[in-house]
Copies of this chain bind each other. A is one copy, B any other.
Amino acid sequence: MDQHYSSELFEHAVDEFSKLPGIGRRSALRLVLHVLRMDAGAVESFADAVVRLRRDVRYCKVCHNISDTEVCNICGNPLRDRTMVCVVENIQDVMAIEATGQYRGLYHVLGGVISPIDGLGPSDLEIQSLVDRVAAGGVSEVILALSSTMEGDTTNFYISRRLSSFDGLRLTVLARGLSVNDELQYTDEVTLGRSIVNRVDFSMGM
């Protein structure tokens, strides 16, 4: 659709919005028309938030989660359980687990999983820094919370080997099984199979 608007500023703004993921030409047009009706100050504060996010956001030097400061506010929170480290692939995973409100330990963001096809080896990920954290002491459990894909499993295995020398360190993975409210008959057989094999005592599973 090679539309010609009467304003290049307008056209350029539509182009810029269209570059964002999930925003087509039509949505971009609607957003630009909205911007035209917005308060000038609100537009500046929107643009400023976007620029500052990209320019000023940092990555926590302990867990590599996004942060505004050298150490993120999860690692810096004295109320969090510092003996547990949950290993995740990316910052979205941290958000997902935080949103459950069920975990009070710390995190370690790998920045991906081992994937030879994508040219991602152990040295491209924050694995050495995880080993160093455990070696520094104080960590009694590492929770491996990676996707259950071949790459995730490979990464789990690699990390477990790297951490095997630490006596008394507990290594755990997330429980896999039926979703809460899942109906048995509609669950895929791999998940159902795992949930039978890894069944838990009645009182625990409630």
Contact = CB atoms under 8 A, between A and B. Distances in A.
Given A6-B72, A20-B31, A38 B54 contact: yes
Contacts of A8: 68
A193 to B, nearest CB: 31
B16 A22 contact: no
Interface secondary structure of A, over-half rule: helix
A65 interface: yes
Bin chain A's interface residue count.
35 or more
A53 B36 contact: yes
B10 A57 contact: yes
Contacts of A10: 53, 57, 66
Stoichiometry (number of copies): 2
Contacts of A95: 3, 5, 29
A54 B35 contact: yes
Contacts of A19: 42, 46
A161 interface: no
Given A7-B66, A43-B50, A20 B36 contact: no
A135 B9 CA distance: 32
A73 B5 CA distance: 9
A42 to B, nearest CB: 8
Interface string A150-169: 00000000000000000000
A84 interface: no
A74 B6 contact: yes
11 contacts: A3-B99, A6-B66, A6-B67, A8-B68, A9-B56, A16-B46, A20-B31, A22-B27, A29-B95, A33-B92, A43-B54
